[in-house]
Structure 1
Amino acid sequence: MTDALLKLSGVHTHIGEYHILQGVDLHVPRGGLTVLLGRNGAGKTTTLRTVMGLWQASAGKVEFGGRDISRLRTPEIAQAGIAYVPESMAVFSDLTVRENLYLAARSGPMDTTRLEWIFSFFPALKKFWNYPAGKLSGGQKQMVAIARAIIEPRQLLLIDEPTKGLAPAIIQNLADAIRQLKGQTTVLLVEQNFHFVRQLGDTVAVMDDGRIVHSGPMAELAADRALQQRLLGLALDSHQ
């Protein structure tokens, strides 16, 4: 097995009286992009939030780089090298793009070389550098959210539903950017748009009812219509 940067073993998560994750086993290989698929309510977002410590696992173990992070607080997990881009995009609307990124650069002034690297695949951010983030389009806000997460080097990037509500042209631009990004950091991506993830994913895991029910190479799932139907109730190449 390829070296796993992130490993979940028998992870359970309760939110109030609800038992959401029910023994999740997940391996995220180092240096690639893993896609987490599943129907709405399967537990995908809860998985990301549990890794990030926003919700505490009630049982099982979350390991990052061989270290048990199951009981660490969210700031400690971030300092360990994990960044999280939530579905809500999480930008400061009243602040400029520059100010949003400045706040995310916790260890000191923004590295100009790294900033130019981010501009190379998100050129709109340079164009709107002094523009209030709240006035940007949905796609541009998503770019700000991802840029905030990677303004400092990260070993693992968790991204939740980045294409939701975006126009097709913007989705393709985002795909091009993430394709470049995944060469620099390991990515765990939750997404519903199969046409988006099929071109990006190296490995895939499918969730159902709080458990991982399938994992393997993305190419195998993309080529197997019967498996798509069994796992997700639809042929993924028909899901636009």
Structure 2
Amino acid sequence: MSNSSAAPPLLELRGVHTHIGAYHILHGVDLAVPQGQVTLLLGRNGAGKTTTLRTIMGLWRISAGELRLHDRMVGNADRHITPPDMVDQGIAYVPESMGIFADLSVQENMLLAARKARRAGDLDTARLEWIFGFFPALRKFWLHPAGKLSGGQKQMLAVARALIEPRRLLLIDEPSKGLAPAIVQSMIEAFAELKRDATTVLLVEQNFDFARRLGDRVAVMDDGRIVHQGSMAELAQDAALQTRLLGLSLDSHQ
């Protein structure tokens, strides 16, 4: 897939501010997420990356600015978007906390995420097999309580729930955090397959090898603002820019 910035944005934030209580977290975020590409959102801890995803999903209110989908305004300070609104728009969110239901089985967690399925027999068998190909542990523990899974297996389940149906946009917060290298590789392969299907992804990630291998575009945040947008390939090749924007070199985080 081309890394060209010419792809039209599926999602766009224009001057978005977010307050959480008395705290002003996002300070006029301008972000374009091209359709059919993987955009990485990078930055130091506390830069505002998770707040950006949560604001897009309607979990936090926009206090100024606007959110646009396919160049249509869907949310601003006067028009609050909600998570059900965004789900109806074909958007899935995988939070860093994973958000799985510990007392339910893996199967039941997947069924809840599949809006068109009322029972296990309604699940898309071909899509399930595709998911099992990347995350075979989910097949093995299909009827087990999700709370009994290991941390890595829970992360697999959280991502798999977002993939159980085709989505227009995936918002994913640090999917590789704490995972063993073999599981990270499976995650990379799953997202690479989504790229081939032209699924749009906005990904917060601290594993820079993961970011380099998957990203088409990159946006870097600092102090609640976007301070750089460009191609992932250009950032990956420019150690001086990496150090200036992130305080480190990608080569030191392989």
Q: TM-score, normalised by structure 2?
A: 0.91
Aligned twin of 2:99:
90
- Give the partner amino acid of 1:117: W
Report the alpha carbon displacement of residue 25 of structure 1 after superposing the two structures with TM.
0.6
Aligned to 1:5: 10
> 1:111 aligns to what?
124
2:87 partner letter:
A
Contact kept? 2:50, 2:173, Cα under 8 Å: yes
Q: 2-side partners of 1:110 and 1:239: how far apart?
A: 39
Return 194-203 or 174-183, whichever deviates more. Answer: 174-183
The match for 1:78 is: 87
Structure 2 CA distance, aligned partners of 1:140 and 1:64? 32
Q: Distance in 2 between matches of 1:227 and 1:50?
A: 28
Single out whichever of 225-234 and 67-76 deviates more from structure 2.
Answer: 67-76
Q: Equivalent of 1:199, from 213, 237, 242?
A: 213
CA-to-partner distance for each residue in 1:120-177, whole Å, 9 max, x for gaps? 3222212221122112122211111111112122100000011111122221221122
Counterpart pick for 1:99 among 104, 108, 116: 108
Question: Could you tell me which amino acid in structure 1 is paired with residue 180 of structure 2?
Answer: A
Corresponding letter in the other structure for 1:69: V
Distance in 2, matches of 1:116 and 1:64, equals 31
> Does 2:229 match 1:220?
no
Aligned-pair Cα RMSD in Å: 1.3
Q: How many residues align?
A: 240
Q: Distance in 1 between matches of 2:88 and 2:126?
A: 21
Output the CA distance in 2 between the equivalents of 1:68 and 1:139: 37
Query: For residues 29-51 of structure 1, what are the alpha-carbon distances to aligned partners after superposition, in whole Å with 9 as ceiling and x for unaligned?
Result: 11110000000000000000000
1:67 offset after TM fit, Å?
A: 2.5
Kindly indicate whether residue 69 of structure 2 is the aligned counterpart of residue 60 of structure 1: no
What amino acid maps onto 2:92 in structure 1? A
Unmatched runs of 5 consecutive residues or more in structure 2: 1-5
- Alpha-carbon distance in structure 2 between the residues aligned to 1:74 and 1:216: 29
Q: Residue in 1 aligned with 2:3?
A: none
Deviations 1:70-95 (A, max 9, x none): 12221011111110000011111121
Aligned counterpart in structure 2 of residue 27 of structure 1, from 21, 29, 32: 32
